[in-house]
Amino acid sequence: MKLTGTILRGRSFEPVEGTLHVDDGEIASIEEHPVDTDDIVCPAFVNAHTHLGDSIAKEAGEGLSLEELVAPPDGLKHRLLRQADSESLIEAMERSLRYMQTGGTGACIEFREGGVEGVEQLRAAAAGAEIDLDPVIMGREEIEVLDVADGYGASGANDANFEAERTAAREAGKPFGIHAGEVDESDVDPAMDLDPDFLVHMVHAQDHQLDRLEDRGTPVVVCPRSNLVTDVGVPPIAELADRTTVALGTDNVFLNSPSMFREMAITAKLTGLPSAEVLAMATYRGAEIADLDWGVLEEGRPAKLFTLDGDTDNLAGAKDPVRTVVRRASHSDVDRVLV
């Protein structure tokens, strides 16, 4: 298989015209030569934080606070999940996975509610028709979930004591992630005391906590659209990026569509960061957190990628391909996805 166009090569996303050759699921070579197409070849996205279960109730809860929306055990999301039957949950998550894949996402790091049953439901959804997207499932709510999940995703250090879950994840050789600093700074230090493999949100991290983050090198996943919707503030993305690995996630499906194009665009416009830095947050930075060997178009890497039709009404005339992917492109511009 070969894909011709402007290829965003390497970790710097250097735009090179040519042909990318795929052999047995791997990038065999990238051949540079002039092309007569406006197509853009881009590494597939890694959505580094999702909650797919609430796909059953998109746009529910207008006007509610963050605690009223998602706090366990009786936030709106948790009540809706308890009320939903398994078949409806699986179908809703399957639809969200399919939507993500058609928009160029190859993997997601999912904080899955519902314990062992919740993990099994998501695996059933991921086995759906035409779905190749691979969710990295961070189970929740019971230690036994580590027997079937890829890791453990904790709600927050103010919600419960997660020392036993952290220990169990470490002993199982699986990652442990936790929400921190979403509403205020009070749960950041207790979360970091658990020595997590990554943190989510960090909207309200204070200077000493940022210093501690930098010293430990703990990666952070930011979800700016979600934080704006729930009115908790905007994470200090540029400062976080100066100190540690930062990846992008779309968070709860019932609050936002799981579109990495939308997440990149708002991140770029809120922060003014270079487009290549934002694209890194949407691709190989999330892949690194998920321990996936992709997110970069280089020879020998897995061929996880997508192409944009550069001649759509939206993209025709675009001059900077990296900026185009980050700030302008959308699902409707995606021509082909290989994941």
Range of the domain at 230: 45-289
Shared-domain flag, residues 212 and 329? no
Shared-domain flag, residues 25 and 142? no
The SS3 assignment for 43 reads strand
- Look at 176 and 85; give whichever has higher pLDDT: 176
pLDDT digits (tens, 9 = 90+) for 81-93: 788 889 999 999 9
pLDDT digits (tens, 9 = 90+) for 256-303: 999 999 999 999 999 999 999 999 999 999 999 999 999 999 999 999
The burial of 212, by beta-carbon neighbours within 10 Å (0-12 exposed, 13-18 middle, 19 or more buried), is given as: middle
Shared-domain flag, residues 75 and 203? yes
For the cut 80, the answer to whether the pLDDT of residue 155 exceeds it is yes
For the cut 90, the answer to whether the pLDDT of residue 71 exceeds it is no
Structure tokens at 267: 């991140």
Q: What is the pLDDT of residue 197?
A: 98
Q: What is the pLDDT of residue 67?
A: 80
Shared-domain flag, residues 72 and 187? yes
Orientation angle between helical segments 275-282 and 260-271, nearest 10 degrees: 140
The SS3 assignment for 208 reads helix
Q: What is the pLDDT of residue 196?
A: 98
Q: What is the pLDDT of residue 225?
A: 97
Strands 176-180 and 198-201 come out as: parallel
Q: What is the pLDDT of residue 302?
A: 96
In order of 43, 213, 324, the CA distances from 270 in angstroms are 23, 22, 16
pLDDT digits (tens, 9 = 90+) for 19-45: 999 999 999 999 999 999 999 999 999
Shared-domain flag, residues 275 and 304? no
For the cut 90, the answer to whether the pLDDT of residue 110 exceeds it is yes
Q: What pTM does this model have?
A: 0.95
Average of per-residue pLDDT across 226-245: 96
Q: What is the pLDDT of residue 63?
A: 81
Structure tokens at 89: 């949950």
Number of compact structural domains in the chain: 2
CB atoms within 10 A of CB 223: 29
For the cut 90, the answer to whether the pLDDT of residue 73 exceeds it is no
Structure tokens at 42: 């881009």
Shared-domain flag, residues 316 and 208? no
Average of per-residue pLDDT across 179-206: 97
Amino acid at 52: L
Average pLDDT score, the chain: 95
Shared-domain flag, residues 158 and 253? yes
For the cut 80, the answer to whether the pLDDT of residue 61 exceeds it is no
Q: What is the pLDDT of residue 9?
A: 98
Shared-domain flag, residues 28 and 152? no
Q: What is the pLDDT of residue 320?
A: 97
Alpha-carbon span 247 to 295, nearest angstrom: 12
Shared-domain flag, residues 193 and 307? no
DSSP H/E element including 189 = helix 188-193
Q: What is the pLDDT of residue 60?
A: 78
CATH number of the CATH domain containing 300:
2.30.40.10
For the cut 90, the answer to whether the pLDDT of residue 77 exceeds it is no
For the cut 90, the answer to whether the pLDDT of residue 211 exceeds it is yes
DSSP H/E element including 98 = helix 86-102
Shared-domain flag, residues 201 and 226? yes
Q: What is the pLDDT of residue 68?
A: 83
Average of per-residue pLDDT across 177-195: 97
For the cut 80, the answer to whether the pLDDT of residue 218 exceeds it is yes
Average of per-residue pLDDT across 202-211: 96
CA-closest candidate to residue 114, choices 84, 94, 158, 91: 84
Shared-domain flag, residues 203 and 239? yes
Q: What is the pLDDT of residue 57?
A: 85
Banded model confidence at residue 69, pLDDT cuts 50, 70, 90? confident
Alpha-carbon span 181 to 247, nearest angstrom: 16
In the chain, the percentage of residues whose pLDDT exceeds 90 is 89
Shared-domain flag, residues 236 and 185? yes
CATH number of the CATH domain containing 101:
3.20.20.140
Average of per-residue pLDDT across 68-77: 79
Q: What is the pLDDT of residue 128?
A: 86
Residues ≥6 apart with Cβ < 8 Å to 282: 45, 46, 247, 248, 260, 263, 264, 326
